[in-house]
Amino acid sequence: MASSLEHFVNSVRNLSGEGSWRELYEFLGKSPDVLMRNSEHLDTVLDTLDPQQHSLGVLAIYMVKFMILNQSAIQNQGILVPEPEILINQVSQFITVCNGEQIRCAPDSFAELCNQFTQCLVEQEMPARGIVPLSKAIRKARMNETQLTSIHANLLQLCLMAQNLKPALEFLNVEISEINSENGYFDAKHFLLYYYYGGVINMACKNFDRALYSFEVALTTPSSAVSHIMLESYKKYILVSLILHGKVAPLPKYTSQVVNRLLKPMSAIYHEITTVFATNKPSSLELVLQKHRDVLQRENNWGLAKQVQQSLYKKIIQRLTQTFLTLSLSDMALRVQLPNVMEAEKLVLTMIEDGDIYASISQKDGMVLFHDNPDKYDSTSTVERVQKEVNICIELDMQVQKMEEAICTNPVFVKKASGAIDEDDGGRSSATSALQGAATKVPSFSM
Amino acid sequence: MNSIKSVNAVEPMQVDVSEENENAEEEPYIVENPTLDIETYTSSYHGMAKLSRLMFIADHCPSLRIETLKMAIAAVQETYNVTLYQQLHRKLQEAISGLTPAQIQALELPSYDVAWAESKMKKAALKLEKLDTDLKNYKANSIKESIRRGHDDLGDHYLDYGDMSNALKCYSRARDYCTSSKHVIHMCLNVIKVSVYLQNWSHVLSYVNKAESTPDFAESSNSKDGGQALVTHLQCAAGLAELATKKYKCAARHFLQANIDHCDLPELLSPSNVAVFGGLCALATYDRAELQKHVISSSSFKLFLELEPQLRDIIHKFYESKYASCLKLLEEMKDNLLLDMYLAPHVPALYTKIRNRALIQYFSPYMSADMRRMAEAFNTSVAALEDELMQLILDGQIQARIDSHNKILFAKDADQRSSTFEKSLNLGEEFKRRTRLLVIRAAVLRNQIHVKSSPRDSGGQTTEVAIPSSSGSSPRN
């Protein structure tokens, strides 16, 4: 009924004018039905409402539009189905101009909107168009720079699809220290997706260190069920670990049991690759990789597997640098199981240029001479570097201390702590002993 | 925090987990040319020890097989062990399957004595019954001493019969009826004996400790001969257990404390065994100072070494750095050692250790060494030597670098200053990484992020496990 729609518009206007975002948010929670029924008038309503002043209202309308889009044809009889192309444009525009303060009062709706927006773009196969709007959306939705929202995962997905990774890196390089719960909308899935995509993007940019870190975070998420995202993260974790360190470091103690019990048996191939890698025989590794080529390709890890093979050669040569001063090229080709001397020379040359080893090749004798790390750590750049690192570490330490203080002064915690002490033995009630006694109750982040 | 539920969303895959045996199956090997005189070798043993050694030799040495089996059959006829008798005869039949009848005649083999087997079994059953009823009577009379002795007798009988697990059970039951420390020690020794036959080494060690911690043990061990024999007995058993569990240094220590005058243990080890085990373990694990003090100048162990002049030569040559002859003698002894039941599985490991020690000791005084001369000294080729040295350097046992062009080994000392800088920078990185993980984890726990399986009734908070939609299009090289 037009009147209910008018009523809707008036309420939005009034409540927005008063700035009572709470009430408006609640009101909007009740209005999807009204809006659905009057779908053909939605565009006129959009014209009357100003996206900046009445962001929440406009947000609700777009949500309804997406709902209609996602419904099946049967349900949509009699309702005007919006055009995806136009809708995408409209939403991009909206995100650019909407009022951040209002948005932050309805975080779940906004996040849902962005999610729907992303899905629509993915279906329409136009991922690149969403990158800029979503970057803006993240900046508006988050409370501070280090906060994670579900929109982060959406952005990373679009960046990967569009193969445009720079915008993603900008967000990935910021250390996350908080999570925006978005009134309950934020979910384990968003967290896992963010870190999984983050790892993949870092891998593509050859930042294997950061990639490993991201996968590790994804794997240590508390869980009691198997998540496919975690499974994929685990497989990539193994491969990246092999490329970076030449072995798979064990996961921290606080990893949930699901990983050990269920994920490990599911990734038998990767464990096989690990064991073969440890034997330092490139030919056996080649055999194993060829054997599982189909599976690896299906799981999109074939490129990684090839890189693992390269890193095996590098690992073997690094071992040689630790034991030999000079080595003939033919000997080296033998030891590394390369087909001929030319290959060996080429490989050593690449490694020297990449800075993986310190050596020089003497073509006259056909010898490679290995040197020690020429960096004697006695220049000013070393001092600067050490200074910088120490400062960063001090900052981090202070951050952790602040977090600890926040917990210790939390009234709920103090009550629990002192309550426990009183139960056990009535004598001591000093603050320090309360804290000590309750230290066991604080979840221990055992590293 | 969220408790881990046991509901799993996905069926765990059936995976073939291959059970790893604790005692890895050793590959059957054949020893071709031992210079062992079986008569003298086995004369120092008695009972089950003799039989198990004879069987071991028969299994692994085709040239001596028939002789040992003959001796084993003769020995087993003195016990009640009929099952073993049958087993030995079967082996004998297998062994002679390839020979002509004339040769078989010449060997004068004992034939399978069915009558003996049956009568022994009957006797064994009778004796078992008698002992059982005796024990029941004693229990009815509740005289602790006789119950204890009854259990002991029953255990002895089971041992004779070849039923080790029952023997162990009986001996252990005697524990409750021990009234004096002498009884406790006696019981411990019995349990140790059976555990050795069963190769249950942790049992052996625990009972050795138990015996040593009985109150009167310290007294008796200092006073009279019986005490000394006891100490030796326990040390030999402990040494054997440590050897079997590959703790060579502890084993060496135990064996070196044995006293030859009291080393009369026909059911366990012979003195030459002690000499060989102790000497080899010490050679493999002791450094020069310890070797000098505990083995070469030790008055008690010297007497042991007299029994094995070859081993004595080896140890002396090693100490005098005459590695080529030392290693050659070791090779000659190898065949005989491979026939020893307890030492055989450890021979390769011990030999490698001894060889590595020799290499390290050879190189330790030098700044640079010519690898050709080193290879000569160690009876090997330069290429093989290079491989061995590479392994030692990677393990960190030698600080050196190989100059493969000129075939020289250069000693290298680590640059402390650079390595300190490197280490501190790495540690900084590690700290940063872990702290950041900590902060994220705190955020995760605070927001109660948890992967759950979706409940049947689609309630509000389902976290449906989803396959990531587009993980495949990331560029890779």
Q: Do B463 and A331 touch (CB under 8 A)?
A: no
Q: What is the pLDDT of residue B466?
A: 38
Contacts of B12 in chain A (CB under 8 A): 261-262, 265
Amino acid identity at B344: A
Report which DSSP code applies to A80: P
Mutation for A interface: B11, B359, B426, B465, most A CBs within 10 A: B465
Task: Give the separation between CA B232 and CA B264, rounded to whole angstroms.
Answer: 9
Give the pLDDT band of residue B220 (cuts 50, 70, 90).
Answer: low
Tell whether the model's pLDDT for residue B386 goes beyond 50: yes
Q: Do A323 and B390 touch (CB under 8 A)?
A: yes
Q: Say yes or no: B465 contacts chain A, CB-CB below 8 A.
A: yes
Compute φ and ψ for B213, nearest 5 degrees: -95, 5
**What stretches of A78-231 adopt beta strand conformation (E)?**
147-148, 178-179
* Minimal CA separation from B369 to chain A, in Å: 14
Q: What is the pLDDT of residue A199?
A: 92
The encoded tokens of residue B64 equal: 């001596």
Closest listed residue to residue B315, CA positions, set B306, B36, B339, B341:
B306
Interface of B with A in 251-290 (CB under 8 A): none
Mapped to the 3 state alphabet, what secondary structure does chain B carry?
CCCCCCCCCCCCCCCCCCCCCCCCCCCCCCCCCCCCCHHHHHHCCCHHHHHHHHHHHHHHCHHHHHHHHHHHHHHHCCCCCHHHHHHHHHHHHHHHHHCCHHHHHHHCCCCCCHHHHHHHHHHHHHHHHHHHHHHHHHHHHCCHHHHHHHHHHHHHHHHHHCCHHHHHHHHHHHHHHCCCHHHHHHHHHHHHHHHHHHCCHHHHHHHHHHHHCCCCHHHHHHHCHHHHHHHHHHHHHHHHHHHHCCCHHHHHHHHHCCCHHHCCECCCECHHHHHHHHHHHHHHHCCHHHHHHHHHCCHHHHHHHHHCHHHHHHHHHHHCCCHHHHHHHHHHHHHHHHCCCCCHHHHHHHHHHHHHHHHHHHHCCCCEEEHHHHHHHCCCCHHHHHHHHHHHHHHCCCCEEEECCCCEEEECCCCHHHHHHHHHHHHHHHHHHHHHHHHHHHHHHHCCCCECCCCCCCCCCCCCCCCCCCCCCCCCC
Residues in CB range of B303: below 8 A, 6 or more apart: B260
Provide the angle, in degrees to the nearest 10, between the axes of the packed helices A208-219 and B416-446.
40
Provide the angle, in degrees to the nearest 10, between the axes of the packed helices A228-245 and A302-323.
30
Minimal-distance CA residue of chain B relative to A371: B401
End-to-end CA distance of chain A: 61
pLDDT average, residue stretch B222-244: 78
CA atoms within 13 A of residue B97's CA, in its CB half-sphere: 6
Task: Give the separation between CA A229 and CA B9, rounded to whole angstroms.
Answer: 14
Task: Give the separation between CA A382 and CA A139, rounded to whole angstroms.
Answer: 37
Tell whether the model's pLDDT for residue B7 goes beyond 50: no
Q: Under a CB-based contact definition with an 8 Å cutoff, are residues A5 and A38 in contact?
A: yes
Q: Say yes or no: B459 contacts chain A, CB-CB below 8 A.
A: no
Name the residue among A122, A265, A385 with its Cβ closest to that of B469.
A122
Tell whether the model's pLDDT for residue B223 goes beyond 80: no
Q: What is the pLDDT of residue A41?
A: 75
Contacts of A389 in chain B (CB under 8 A): 425, 428-429, 432
End-to-end CA distance of chain B: 43
Q: What is the pLDDT of residue A248?
A: 87
Give the pLDDT band of residue B29 (cuts 50, 70, 90).
Answer: low
Q: What is the pLDDT of residue A336?
A: 82
Q: What is the pLDDT of residue B33?
A: 61
Report the share of chain B in percent with pLDDT over 90.
Answer: 3
Q: What is the pLDDT of residue B476?
A: 38
Q: What is the pLDDT of residue A215?
A: 93
Q: What is the pLDDT of residue B454?
A: 67
Minimal-distance CA residue of chain A relative to B414: A372
Q: What is the pLDDT of residue B219?
A: 60
ipTM above 0.90, yes or no: no
Q: Do A204 and B476 touch (CB under 8 A)?
A: yes
Q: What is the pLDDT of residue A200?
A: 92
- B417: Cα separation from own chain's centroid: 43
The encoded tokens of residue A352 equal: 């020297």
Mean pLDDT of chain B: 79
* Minimal CA separation from B467 to chain A, in Å: 6
Q: Under a CB-based contact definition with an 8 Å cutoff, are residues A204 and A190 in contact?
A: no
Q: Do B451 and A178 touch (CB under 8 A)?
A: no
Q: Do B476 and A303 touch (CB under 8 A)?
A: yes
Task: Give the separation between CA A97 and CA A94, rounded to whole angstroms.
Answer: 5
Give the pLDDT band of residue B31 (cuts 50, 70, 90).
Answer: low
Q: Do B403 and A324 touch (CB under 8 A)?
A: yes
Contacts of A163 in chain B (CB under 8 A): 473-475
Interstrand relation of A324-328 and B400-403 (parallel, antiparallel or unpaired):
parallel
| Higher-scoring residue by pLDDT: B235, A440 | B235
Interface of B with A in 395-454 (CB under 8 A): 401-406, 410, 415, 417-418, 421-422, 424-425, 428-429, 431-447, 449-453
pLDDT per residue as tens digits for the range B282-316: 888 888 888 888 888 888 888 888 888 888 899 88
Q: Say yes or no: B4 contacts chain A, CB-CB below 8 A.
A: yes
Name the residue among A213, A232, A258 with its Cβ closest to that of B471.
A232
Minimal-distance CA residue of chain B relative to A393: B432
Q: Do B451 and A222 touch (CB under 8 A)?
A: yes
Number of Cβ atoms within 10 Å of the Cβ of B419: 12
Q: Supply the CATH classification number for the domain A324-397.
A: 1.10.10.10
Q: Do B438 and A224 touch (CB under 8 A)?
A: no
Q: Where are the domains of chain A?
A: 1-186, 217-314, 324-397
Tell whether the model's pLDDT for residue B457 goes beyond 90: no
Tell whether the model's pLDDT for residue B6 goes beyond 50: no
Q: What is the pLDDT of residue A196?
A: 93
Mutation for B interface: A215, A307, A377, A397, most B CBs within 10 A: A377
| Higher-scoring residue by pLDDT: B11, B200 | B200
pTM value? 0.71
pLDDT average, residue stretch B79-86: 82
Transcribe A6-25 into DSSP letters: HHHHHHHHHHHHHT-HHHHH
Minimal-distance CA residue of chain B relative to A228: B467
Three-state secondary-structure class, residue A323: helix
pLDDT average, residue stretch B29-52: 74
- A99: Cα separation from own chain's centroid: 27
Tokens 């009854």, residue?
B150
Q: Under a CB-based contact definition with an 8 Å cutoff, are residues A153 and A197 in contact?
A: yes
Give the pLDDT band of residue B218 (cuts 50, 70, 90).
Answer: low
Contacts of B468 in chain A (CB under 8 A): 157, 193, 196-197, 228-229, 232
pLDDT average, residue stretch B250-275: 81
Tokens 């790892």, residue?
A199
Tell whether the model's pLDDT for residue B144 goes beyond 80: yes
* Minimal CA separation from B267 to chain A, in Å: 44
Contacts of A396 in chain B (CB under 8 A): 431-432, 435-436
Contacts of A252 in chain B (CB under 8 A): 437
Report the share of chain B in percent with pLDDT over 70.
Answer: 84
Name the residue among B432, B452, B461 with its Cβ closest to that of A396.
B432
Tokens 């590394």, residue?
A336
In tens digits, chain A (447 residues) has pLDDT values of: 467 777 778 877 887 777 777 777 787 777 777 777 777 777 777 777 777 777 777 888 888 888 877 776 666 666 667 778 888 888 888 888 887 887 888 888 888 888 888 888 888 888 888 888 888 888 888 888 888 888 899 999 999 888 888 888 888 888 888 888 887 788 888 899 999 999 999 998 888 999 999 999 999 888 888 888 888 999 999 999 998 888 888 888 888 888 888 888 888 888 888 898 888 888 888 888 888 888 888 888 888 888 888 888 888 888 888 888 888 888 888 888 888 888 888 888 888 888 878 888 888 888 888 887 777 777 888 889 889 999 999 999 999 999 989 888 888 888 888 877 665 554 444 444 444 444 444 444 444
